[in-house]
A and B are shown apart, each in its own frame.
Chain A
Amino acid sequence: MDRRSLLKMIGAGALAVTAGPALTACDGGSAKGAVGNSGKNLTPWPTYVPFAGPKPDLAGDAKTGVQPGYLNYPANLAQAVKDKPGDGSDVTAMVITYGTPPKPVEQNQLWAALNKALGVNLKLVMVPDAEFQKKMATVMASGDLPDIIMFGAGYYLSREQDFILSQCADLSDLIGGDNVKAYPNLANIPGYSWKGMGRIGGKLYGVPTERPMPGNSLILNRSALEKAGVPRDWDADGFLAAMKGYTGNKKWGIGASASNFTGPNTAAYHAGSFGAPNLWKVENGQFVSTYETEQFRKALEFMTKLPYYPDSLTTSAVDMKSLFYNQTVASMTDGFGAYQATTTKVKDFTFDFALPYAKNATPWQGNGRFGYTVFKKASADRLKLLLRVCDYLASPFGSKEYELANFGVEGAHFTRGADGGIALTDLAKVENNTTLPFKYVAAAPQVIYFPGMPDATRRLHQWESDTLPRSVADPSNGLRSGTWSASGAQLDKVIGDGLAAVLFGRKSLSEWDAILKDWKGKGGAKAAEEYSTEHAAA
């Protein structure tokens, strides 16, 4: 082939490649504004009706978000679902997975038991976390949808809400307001979780997977700090002194992993301690980013003084956890779920989440949900069946249904330990709710219970009681912004990169304004406007 024909071909190809997007841009685009709630009749949030199950040892508070704590596994389990939800039909559900593939249903006792209890043949299409966005993009493009589709898990999909609005079932009449009482376990999902999911076009389209209210925090080695005489409650100077005191001899006060710098996570605990608003504040009806507040700047200045683990920017989350477990770092930024994982890994020291180090702190809440599931359009009877399946899977802790969905079959997957608690068997290593993630179809509100570790339960409950009453929510939670849907990940990255640059000395503190300007220019300012409009409507 000669040079000329090659160049011709490249030219023709380039034309074909550029013509595609240009033509699709003419197709009317998204239903702009349709996903927003501004100017719409708003479906009422589902009424909250708490489950009257086994009494917790440490009381929860739905208002502040403090979870009920159980020191021991309840001796008498309640019945959360009266009738079998299904009619024997097939139900397909597409969910994310973090586990290895399960054994097929014919060889899988957990899967078979759940199908029997649900009265359906639940087929799970499991999408690995790393490929979630790509798989969802192909499914959304194909139009061939499973009955139940999970969204969320920290991903912003392009035109997610437009897709749901046009292709998925409106559940407003089935679960809006008091209607949710037909599904008592869904009614037991607290309001903050529904609000975290939000409405689309004023309607309710999904069921949220609840997560506790605390957001990202700082987990710390309590034993080491106690040894150095550091009190549990502290001020900024005390915190700085404690972290510096631990540093030296190949040990560091604070650890963070590379993934913490894909967004503002590293700053969450410190910004909250300095009283900065949770990502946004609403001032005279206008959204103002926390990044431009005085409190956030103070927090940032304070953070530059902290002794961070020097390789934090290149250390994976898994490796950073190992460095925390082996006490190379005294503390690390991590999600709330890390507490549970740490209880199973750390045996030779006690650990805690850190209390904020100021009296006027505003600890940041999470968004109250892991994700949410929506249904393919179907008849009302079919939608009710799918809601009953979700209702079963959302059965609360202390019910027989929860035990089956989360621990499996007694005798096969677990036995009763000495204290009557759950003791997992070897079979549970391969058949569990990680390899078979029914929990992402729907799940119960989480409680604090660590088998055989009542002290860990007490400490976490105490931390929640001390922290959550003064915690603040992200006002954008559950609101729709087209700009944020399209570029949220990129905008978070600008902040994450900026924090990394300032904390590790590549940029000076005075350059934060330039970072902020970049963030606003790339869509931060537009997102603020869109949230303001949405907020006024909600």
Chain B
Amino acid sequence: MRPAWQGRPTIAVRVAKGVALTVVTLLVVFPLWTVVATSVSSPELVTANGGYVIWPSDLSLDAYTEILGGGIVTKALLVSAGVTILGTALSLVATIGLAYGLARPQLFGGRPILLLVMFTFLFPPSMIPLFLIVRGTGLFDTYSALVLPFLVNVFNLVVMRGFFQSVPTELLEAARIDGAGEFRILLRVVLPLSKAVVAVIGLFYAVAYWNRFFEAIIYFNDQSKWPIGTVLRQYVTQGAQLADSSVSESASANAPQSIQMAVVVLATLPIVCLYPFVQRYFVKGVLTGAVKA
């Protein structure tokens, strides 16, 4: 006789499961739907409904027109895309190199280097010292300031090092006997086996670079260099001004909630589009590194 959990559930259980899943799905979908519905509603409808719209009876794309008009957002999108692509590539190169080195037990000075890296993980630098370093090294007001100080994330490094350590030593020794150097071993043996972890860590880096907004405010005086996160944040917060207002300050005829929701849609869209392509690596990549550090 099969144990209970392998048996075919009764109709009542299946219906209950269906209902439960439907409820959970609705709980997830409803807020997202409200975000999209509010973003495409006319200001009058948003105000009449007290801020949020469930059924957009009066469609309007004014919020998107306001955000995308004027060229500011387009420029910021390009900045973010550049920073994300280049930053992710550089971060992966640096992380893979460091993780591979630190994963090899025979590395001279490997342990002090690992301790140094871990130290920054436990005690990250605070804002002002980091700012002074960025300024002192001439990175201020350059796009490099959004990449170089964040080139290697210690968490990602530890995950990747753990993964590299799990590659069988016999494989590496076989390659070495065949005359391969460390660089060739990394490129030809280790990396092809590590696609999953590289994809996941790449996604982590890409999301982090895409979402970076605060650093642009601190490290840039020139707001024309702001990435999309910083610019969109301004759209979100501009409706929040309370104490101050003068004649032309309320130039936007749109409801602030429509703008905020349109920003949410625009900011999440690229990552939502990217996610399905790396999702299949996701669980595998994280789990592999998770048990060894």
Contacts and interface: CB of A to CB of B under 8 A. Distances in A.
Interface of A: 1, 5-6, 9-10, 12-13, 16-17, 92, 94, 97-104, 107, 125-131, 134-135, 137-138, 141-142, 144, 153-154, 211, 259, 316-319, 322-323, 325-326, 328, 334-335, 337-338, 340-341, 344-345, 370, 406-407, 422, 424, 428-430, 432-434, 439, 443, 446, 449-451
A316 B123 CA distance: 35
Contacts of A429: 66, 69, 251-252
Interface in B112-165: 114-115, 118-119, 122-123, 127-128, 131-132, 135
A315 to B, nearest CB: 9
B70 to A, nearest CB: 4
Interface centre among B242, B244, B256, B293 (most CB of A within 10 A): B244
Nearest to A317: B242
A316 B240 CA distance: 8
A9 B50 contact: no
Nearest to A429: B251
A397 to B, nearest CB: 9
Contact of A98 (B128, B237, B255, B257): B237
B251 A428 contact: yes
B217 A318 contact: no
A421 B242 CA distance: 26
Task: Tell me what chain B mostly uses at the interface: helix, strand, loop, or mixed.
Answer: helix
A16 B253 CA distance: 53
A353 to B, nearest CB: 14
B245 interface: yes
Given A13-B119, A101-B223, A141-B132, 6 more contacts: A103-B70, A128-B237, A144-B135, A337-B242, A370-B243, A432-B249
A10 B252 CA distance: 51
Contacts of A98: 237-238, 240-241, 244, 249
B63 interface: no
B196 to A, nearest CB: 24
Contacts of B248: 406-407, 424, 428, 432-434
Nearest to B232: A100
Contacts of A101: 72, 76, 223-224, 226, 231, 234
User: For this complex, into which size category does the number of interface residues on chain B fall?
Assistant: 35 or more
Contacts of B253: 344
Contact of A131 (B132, B217, B244): B217
A138 B240 contact: no
B118 A9 contact: yes
Across the A-B interface, the 6 shortest Cβ-Cβ residue pairs:
A337-B245, A13-B123, A322-B51, A430-B70, A138-B131, A98-B241
B243 A337 contact: yes
A505 to B, nearest CB: 24
A125 B250 CA distance: 22
A341 B135 contact: no
A137 B128 CA distance: 8
Given A141-B131, A322-B50, A446 B246 contact: yes
B123 A439 contact: no
B53 to A, nearest CB: 11
Contacts of B246: 337, 340, 406, 433, 439, 443, 446
B51 A318 contact: yes
B83 interface: no
B218 interface: yes
Contact of A127 (B217, B231, B251): B217
Given A103-B70, A128-B234, A429-B66, A326 B127 contact: no
B48 A326 contact: yes
Contacts of B244: 98, 153, 211, 335, 337, 370
Interface centre among A103, A317, A322 (most CB of B within 10 A): A322
Interface in B248-293: 248-253, 255-257, 260, 293
A325 B47 contact: yes
A128 B217 contact: yes
Contact of A99 (B69, B238, B256): B238
Given A9-B122, A428-B248, A434-B251, A134 B243 contact: no
Contacts of B251: 424, 428-429, 432, 434
Given A259-B242, A335-B242, A344 B69 contact: no
A10 B122 contact: yes
A138 B127 contact: yes
B128 A138 contact: yes
A432 B104 CA distance: 59
Nearest to B69: A430
Interface in B200-259: 214, 217-218, 221, 223-224, 226, 230-231, 233-235, 237-253, 255-257
Contact of A125 (B49, B128, B221): B221
A142 B123 CA distance: 22
A211 B246 CA distance: 10
A317 B293 CA distance: 46
Nearest to B116: A9
Contacts of A131: 214, 217-218
B131 A142 contact: yes
Contacts of B234: 97, 99-101, 128
Contacts of A6: 118
B192 interface: no
A126 B70 contact: no
B51 A323 contact: yes
Contacts of B218: 131, 134-135, 138
